[in-house]
Amino acid sequence: MFRTIDSQFTDLLPAYRGKTVLITGAAGFIGTRLRSLLRTLDARLICISRTAPPATHAGGETWIRGDLSERASWESALKHPVDVVFHCAAQTSAYAADSAPVEDLRLNVVPIVHLLELCHQKKFSPFIVLASTITIAGLAQAQLIDESVPDAPVTVYDLHKLFAEQYLRSYIARSIARGTCMRLANVYGPGPKSGKEDRGVLNQMVRRAQQGNTLTVYKPGTFVRDYVHIDDVAMAFLHAAANADATNGQHYLIGTGTGHTLIEAASLVAEVVGKKSGTTVSVEMVTPQHPQSPIESRCYTADCSRFIRATGWQHTFDLAQGIESMLEDIA
């Protein structure tokens, strides 16, 4: 659960109390955290997911099971106006996207087009917060990047994420829609388990360490990641919509600004879990068994100062604290 209901959170109450909020991917990693927060903020929730409602589904939520690449699912969710849409539903594997690009286009681009067109036709004007990815920057050379870094996607997944952003920005530029794009760094923390092996790698490490298994890191282990906790990401989404006048039409990088090499992150997991369990967790360097995507060699972190200035959001977890929060959640 969330560590505290701090001033950042209480400041959001007026923005969401009594408002109607649509969450896509509501049973997923980000969607689950948003549901928890928004219930506390007294928002009315409409939740869409490809899966049945999870055990944490609350009675006050309207739950719709559907495929968002089909217009009918959006029509079910948007029978009446909503104030905010958090569009988190997506296919999240770069490897799956590269192997099936047409399917990835259907899952990651078509839904935002349906949403924008339906809102346009119904004359609805919700504020749309689109979950995107920092890896649209491709293999940027700077160690700390901000929103000025050129878009240079090197995977189908990143290309389609950029397409989705461009659709939203196009409708905003024509005053048809309102919204913002959140380019997320490596999100981790307590929550539903990803079904994709290349997603949630840090979460996988924590689970393996708790089971007493050796942690494996692909050689050379020197590539850098910016690990941002799920609670901080959920709060960033809420701040984005609560400050719609400032964030409309923009894209933002969401991370911590602190980088860890893959071997550093694995070693920290081993240290934190080892202290908690009183056991020794080993870390081993291994050679990948399959070809790795070029994007795996990225080495940059997110400068979030522009988003901080626009919204007042701040990240609250460093990596060690975030790993500890996962152990507390499971305990």
- Where would I find the beta strands (DSSP E) of 111-237? 127-133, 144-145, 178-184, 186-188, 215-218, 224-225, 227-229
Distance CA 12, CA 186 (A): 25
Of 49-58, 280-289, 320-329, where does mean pLDDT reach its minimum? 49-58
Residue 2 located in a structural domain? no
The tens digit of pLDDT for each residue in 243-259 reads 999 999 999 999 999 99
Given a cut of 60, whether residue 3 has pLDDT beyond it is no
219 domain-assigned: no
Q: Which domain range does residue 178 map to?
A: 7-190+227-256+302-316
122 lies in some domain: yes
Which of helix, strand or coil describes residue 284? strand
* Banded pLDDT at 284 (limits 50, 70, 90): very high
CA–CA gap between residue 53 and residue 217 (Å, rounded): 35
Query: How many residues are recorded in the chain?
Result: 331
1 belongs to a structural domain = no
> Which pLDDT value is given to residue 182?
99
Among 86-100, 184-198, 300-314, the range scoring the smallest mean pLDDT is 184-198
Number of domains in the chain: 1
Tens-place pLDDT, residues 224-235: 999 999 999 999
Q: What is the identity of the amino acid at 309?
A: R
| The residue type at 205 | M
Domain-located, residue 274: no
25: which 2 tokens?
A: 């991917």
Q: Is residue 158 part of a domain?
A: yes
Q: Judge whether 242 lies within some domain.
A: yes
CA distance 131 to 31: 10
- Residue 53 pLDDT > 90: no
Is residue 162 within 8 Å of residue 146, measured between CB atoms?
no
Peptide bond preceding 150 in cis form (omega within 30 of 0): no
Please check the confidence at residue 330 and state whether its pLDDT lies above 70.
no
Q: What average pLDDT does this structure show over 98-107?
A: 98
pLDDT digits (tens, 9 = 90+) for 265-277: 999 999 999 999 8
The verdict on residue 233 lying in a domain is yes
Average pLDDT over residues 110-134: 98
Residues forming beta bridges with residue 261, ordered by sequence position: 224
Percent of the chain past pLDDT 70, that is, above it, reads: 94
User: For the domain that residue 147 is a member of, what is the CATH number?
Assistant: 3.40.50.720
